Amino acid sequence: MSVAAVARKDFRDGIRSRLLWGLIALFVLSIGGFGFIATRSSPDQGGAVALIGILGISALLAVVFLVPLTGLVVSIKSIVRERELGSIRILLSLPHTRAEVVAGKFIGRVGLLTVAILAGFIPAGLLFMVRVSDFPLFEYAAFVLVTILFGVMFVAVGLSVSALTETETRATIGGITAFFLLYFWQGIFNWLNGQLDLFSPTGDAFMFIQRFHLMNVFYDSLMAILSIRYEEIPNASLAAIGQSMAQGPGGAAIADQPFYLQHWFAFVILALWVAVPLGIGYWRFERTDL
């Protein structure tokens, strides 16, 4: 019950943020605007073509920029701001443990993220229903769900940074650093691997590490859900598919992959991206003298 109380309070406090409403406006304008352009440019070509239009453009903008930005913005100061103001002591003087505070704030901030994402995608979905003849509801819902899950990773990272830092300035710097590291660690790893020859580029271990790249996680999660309806979608991850294609006709069969290189395993990786930062943040918060 304490977790729910913290989550409700955190959600109510966060929903009044002007910055959050600014991000919501960006979601509405970007997703809705691209949806209008997609349906207007090809109104008679059916829902599939229109969906490709919005997913192709908005995915790049929303997944690479807006969703991570929103996830970090709603969470990066969730603990450190109350710590600076001293209100965290009041919160902990109530019957709340530090674990309940972290869990409640995480749930509350995920709620804020979900509101922001749905505010952009629901109007766009309604626009599709009105303007196209065969709106692909399942595919659209799958894309929205994976987008939310993708954002939850950044909420966890932002909350962890907030718990690890002592000032809002450090939290902001930590959030910016985390954003760039999360996207560019693969390039750094590939360079180090090329210099030190740590893993064979054709080995399963190398491909498994590549699976943790955020865009691979997003794509594999989406394909795993879509494969429920479309059996022809291969069960291999994007990293395994790319490696098989690079090896040519003599490469490993796409369908013949170990379980940790199949697309559904992306949800395990998603869980790790959430659980590990939260665990580190809680460990630090539990041992901090407030």
Identify which of 204, 206, 213 has the alpha carbon closest to the alpha carbon of residue 192.
206
Determine how many CB atoms are found less than 10 A away from the CB of residue 187.
10
Asked if pLDDT for residue 276 goes beyond 90, the answer is: yes
Please provide the distance, in angstroms rounded to a whole number, between the alpha carbons at the two ends of the chain. 24
Choose the weakest-confidence range: 38-47, 119-128, 147-156: 38-47
Measure the CA–CA gap between 185 and 159, rounded to whole angstroms. 20
How many structural domains comprise the chain? 1
Helix (H, G, I), strand (E, B) or coil at 227: coil
Residue 46 clears pLDDT 70, i.e. is over it: no
pLDDT score recorded for residue 35: 66
- DSSP conformation letters of 60-117: HHIIIIIHHHHHHHTTTTTTHHHHHHTHHHHHHHSS--HHHHHHHHHHHHHHHHHHHH
The more confidently predicted of residues 251 and 174 is: 174
What pLDDT is stored for residue 121 in this prediction? 86
In a domain, 212, yes or no: no
Task: Please indicate, yes or no, if residue 245 is contained in any of the structural domains.
Answer: no
**pLDDT of 113 above 90:** yes
Indicate if the pLDDT at residue 264 is higher than 70: yes
Query: Which is more confidently placed, 108 or 55?
Result: 108
Written in H, E and C, the secondary structure of 108-167 is HHHHHHHHHHHHHHHHHHHHHHHHCCCCCHHHHHHHHHHHHHHHHHHHHHHHHHHHHCCC
Mean per-residue pLDDT, 82-91: 80
189 in a structural domain? no
pLDDT tens figures, 166-201: 889 999 999 999 988 888 888 888 888 888 888 887
- pLDDT tens sequence across 30-45: 777 766 666 665 555 5
CA distance 147 to 183: 16
What's the confidence (pLDDT) of residue 39? 62
pLDDT of residue 115: 93
Let me know: does 108 contact 10? Beta carbons within 8 Å: yes
Residue 109 inside a domain? The answer is: yes
Find the domain containing 53 and state its range: 2-166
In a domain, 208, yes or no: no
Q: Does a structural domain hold residue 102? A: yes
278: amino acid identity, one letter:
L
